[in-house]
Amino acid sequence: MALLNIINVPDPLLKTISDPVAQVDDELRRLMDNMLETMYAAPGIGLAAIQVAVPRRVIVIDTEGDEKMRKPRFLVNPEVTWESEEYNVYNEGCLSVPEHYAEVERPASVKVKYLDYDGKQHEELMDGLLATCVQHEIDHLNGVVFIDYLSKLRRNMIVKKVQKATRDMAVL
Ligand code: NI
Protein backbone atom coordinates (compact mmCIF):
# COMPACT_ATOMS: atom_id res chain seq x y z
CA MET A 1 0.00 0.00 0.00
CA ALA A 2 1.05 3.58 -0.50
CA LEU A 3 0.24 6.98 0.90
CA LEU A 4 -1.28 9.33 -1.65
CA ASN A 5 -0.94 13.09 -1.82
CA ILE A 6 -4.05 14.97 -0.66
CA ILE A 7 -4.82 18.16 -2.58
CA ASN A 8 -6.06 21.30 -0.85
CA VAL A 9 -8.38 24.16 -1.76
CA PRO A 10 -8.30 26.12 -4.03
CA ASP A 11 -7.03 23.35 -6.33
CA PRO A 12 -9.47 23.46 -9.30
CA LEU A 13 -9.53 19.65 -9.38
CA LEU A 14 -11.73 19.76 -6.27
CA LYS A 15 -14.45 21.31 -8.47
CA THR A 16 -14.43 18.30 -10.81
CA ILE A 17 -17.54 16.16 -11.19
CA SER A 18 -16.12 12.63 -10.81
CA ASP A 19 -16.90 9.84 -13.27
CA PRO A 20 -18.93 6.74 -12.34
CA VAL A 21 -16.94 3.54 -11.91
CA ALA A 22 -17.76 0.94 -14.58
CA GLN A 23 -16.32 -2.04 -12.78
CA VAL A 24 -15.02 -2.87 -9.31
CA ASP A 25 -11.76 -4.65 -10.11
CA ASP A 26 -8.33 -5.19 -8.53
CA GLU A 27 -7.03 -1.88 -9.82
CA LEU A 28 -9.92 -0.07 -8.11
CA ARG A 29 -9.42 -2.09 -4.91
CA ARG A 30 -5.76 -1.01 -4.91
CA LEU A 31 -6.90 2.62 -5.13
CA MET A 32 -9.39 2.06 -2.28
CA ASP A 33 -6.70 0.40 -0.10
CA ASN A 34 -4.33 3.32 -0.69
CA MET A 35 -7.09 5.85 -0.02
CA LEU A 36 -7.93 4.14 3.27
CA GLU A 37 -4.30 4.11 4.38
CA THR A 38 -3.96 7.78 3.40
CA MET A 39 -7.14 8.65 5.33
CA TYR A 40 -5.97 6.82 8.48
CA ALA A 41 -2.54 8.46 8.28
CA ALA A 42 -3.95 11.99 7.85
CA PRO A 43 -5.91 11.26 10.13
CA GLY A 44 -9.46 11.68 8.89
CA ILE A 45 -12.82 9.86 8.91
CA GLY A 46 -13.64 10.19 5.21
CA LEU A 47 -11.87 10.64 1.89
CA ALA A 48 -13.10 10.97 -1.69
CA ALA A 49 -10.94 9.88 -4.64
CA ILE A 50 -10.89 13.40 -6.10
CA GLN A 51 -9.01 14.54 -2.97
CA VAL A 52 -6.10 12.38 -4.17
CA ALA A 53 -6.60 13.78 -7.69
CA VAL A 54 -8.50 10.74 -9.05
CA PRO A 55 -11.84 11.80 -10.61
CA ARG A 56 -13.77 8.58 -9.94
CA ARG A 57 -16.86 8.09 -7.79
CA VAL A 58 -15.21 6.32 -4.87
CA ILE A 59 -15.18 7.20 -1.17
CA VAL A 60 -13.76 5.58 1.95
CA ILE A 61 -15.15 6.22 5.43
CA ASP A 62 -14.41 5.11 8.97
CA THR A 63 -16.28 7.09 11.60
CA GLU A 64 -15.06 4.96 14.52
CA GLY A 65 -11.97 7.14 14.94
CA ASP A 66 -10.29 4.45 17.06
CA GLU A 67 -7.28 2.49 15.92
CA LYS A 68 -8.40 -0.62 17.79
CA MET A 69 -11.98 -0.55 16.53
CA ARG A 70 -11.54 0.07 12.83
CA LYS A 71 -14.61 -0.26 10.67
CA PRO A 72 -13.64 0.80 7.14
CA ARG A 73 -16.34 1.34 4.56
CA PHE A 74 -15.78 1.50 0.82
CA LEU A 75 -18.52 3.09 -1.28
CA VAL A 76 -18.38 3.01 -5.07
CA ASN A 77 -20.87 5.08 -7.11
CA PRO A 78 -22.67 6.17 -3.91
CA GLU A 79 -26.04 7.80 -4.41
CA VAL A 80 -28.50 9.26 -1.91
CA THR A 81 -31.91 7.67 -2.60
CA TRP A 82 -33.76 9.18 0.37
CA GLU A 83 -33.18 11.90 2.94
CA SER A 84 -34.97 12.73 6.18
CA GLU A 85 -36.90 15.96 6.66
CA GLU A 86 -35.12 16.36 9.94
CA TYR A 87 -31.77 18.15 9.84
CA ASN A 88 -28.60 17.91 11.90
CA VAL A 89 -25.78 20.38 12.40
CA TYR A 90 -22.19 19.19 12.71
CA ASN A 91 -18.95 21.09 13.01
CA GLU A 92 -17.31 19.79 9.83
CA GLY A 93 -13.72 19.70 8.71
CA CYS A 94 -12.05 18.35 5.58
CA LEU A 95 -8.60 16.95 4.75
CA SER A 96 -8.50 19.34 1.76
CA VAL A 97 -9.20 22.33 4.07
CA PRO A 98 -6.76 21.53 6.89
CA GLU A 99 -7.30 23.09 10.33
CA HIS A 100 -10.58 24.83 9.50
CA TYR A 101 -14.01 23.85 10.78
CA ALA A 102 -17.52 25.18 10.30
CA GLU A 103 -21.06 24.20 11.16
CA VAL A 104 -22.98 22.68 8.26
CA GLU A 105 -26.65 21.66 8.25
CA ARG A 106 -27.59 18.45 6.43
CA PRO A 107 -30.40 15.88 6.50
CA ALA A 108 -30.04 13.86 9.74
CA SER A 109 -30.51 10.49 7.99
CA VAL A 110 -30.08 9.32 4.43
CA LYS A 111 -30.48 6.14 2.48
CA VAL A 112 -27.46 5.46 0.28
CA LYS A 113 -27.15 3.05 -2.63
CA TYR A 114 -23.59 1.94 -3.45
CA LEU A 115 -21.31 -0.89 -4.52
CA ASP A 116 -18.95 -2.28 -1.88
CA TYR A 117 -15.31 -3.43 -2.02
CA ASP A 118 -16.39 -6.60 -3.86
CA GLY A 119 -18.75 -4.84 -6.24
CA LYS A 120 -21.85 -6.02 -4.39
CA GLN A 121 -24.78 -3.60 -4.32
CA HIS A 122 -26.20 -2.26 -1.05
CA GLU A 123 -28.82 0.22 0.06
CA GLU A 124 -28.26 1.34 3.61
CA LEU A 125 -29.91 3.73 6.05
CA MET A 126 -27.31 5.94 7.70
CA ASP A 127 -27.68 8.44 10.52
CA GLY A 128 -25.62 10.46 12.99
CA LEU A 129 -22.01 11.22 12.10
CA LEU A 130 -22.02 8.58 9.35
CA ALA A 131 -24.91 10.34 7.55
CA THR A 132 -23.08 13.67 7.70
CA CYS A 133 -19.81 12.11 6.59
CA VAL A 134 -21.30 10.25 3.61
CA GLN A 135 -23.07 13.42 2.40
CA HIS A 136 -19.85 15.43 2.78
CA GLU A 137 -17.94 12.82 0.72
CA ILE A 138 -20.63 12.52 -1.99
CA ASP A 139 -20.47 16.32 -2.25
CA HIS A 140 -16.77 15.95 -3.15
CA LEU A 141 -17.74 13.67 -6.06
CA ASN A 142 -19.92 16.51 -7.32
CA GLY A 143 -17.22 19.15 -6.97
CA VAL A 144 -18.56 20.59 -3.72
CA VAL A 145 -16.47 21.26 -0.60
CA PHE A 146 -18.12 22.07 2.77
CA ILE A 147 -16.85 25.67 2.70
CA ASP A 148 -19.06 26.20 -0.37
CA TYR A 149 -21.99 26.34 2.12
CA LEU A 150 -20.44 29.30 3.96
CA SER A 151 -20.66 32.98 3.07
CA LYS A 152 -18.34 34.08 0.28
CA LEU A 153 -16.44 36.29 2.71
CA ARG A 154 -15.78 33.47 5.17
CA ARG A 155 -14.95 30.99 2.38
CA ASN A 156 -12.40 33.34 0.80
CA MET A 157 -10.79 33.98 4.18
CA ILE A 158 -10.39 30.24 4.82
CA VAL A 159 -9.03 29.57 1.31
CA LYS A 160 -6.44 32.35 1.73
CA LYS A 161 -5.29 30.93 5.07
CA VAL A 162 -5.01 27.38 3.66
CA GLN A 163 -3.06 28.71 0.67
CA LYS A 164 -0.66 30.56 2.94
CA ALA A 165 -0.18 27.54 5.21
CA THR A 166 0.45 25.26 2.21
CA ARG A 167 3.03 27.75 0.85
CA ASP A 168 4.78 28.07 4.20
CA MET A 169 4.94 24.28 4.48
CA ALA A 170 6.52 23.99 1.01
CA VAL A 171 9.32 26.37 2.09
CA LEU A 172 10.30 24.00 4.90
NI1 NI B 1 -13.78 16.62 2.72
**CA 119–ligand 1 middle distance (angstroms):** 24
- Domain-located, residue 129: yes
- Domain-located, residue 6: no
Backbone angles phi, psi at 16, to 5 degrees: -70, 140
pLDDT at residue 171 greater than cutoff 90: no
- Domain-located, residue 137: yes
**CA 139–ligand 1 middle distance (angstroms):** 8
Query: Known catalytic residue: 85?
Result: no
The total number of structural domains in the chain stands at 1
**CA 167–ligand 1 middle distance (angstroms):** 20
Host domain of residue 29: 12-171
Sheet with 109-115, edge to edge strand ranges: 46-48, 58-61, 73-83, 109-115, 121-127
Instruction: Give the pLDDT confidence of 31-85 residue by residue, as tens digits.
Output: 999 999 999 999 999 999 999 999 999 999 999 877 788 999 999 999 999 999 9
What is this structure's pTM? Answer: 0.96
- Domain-located, residue 2: no
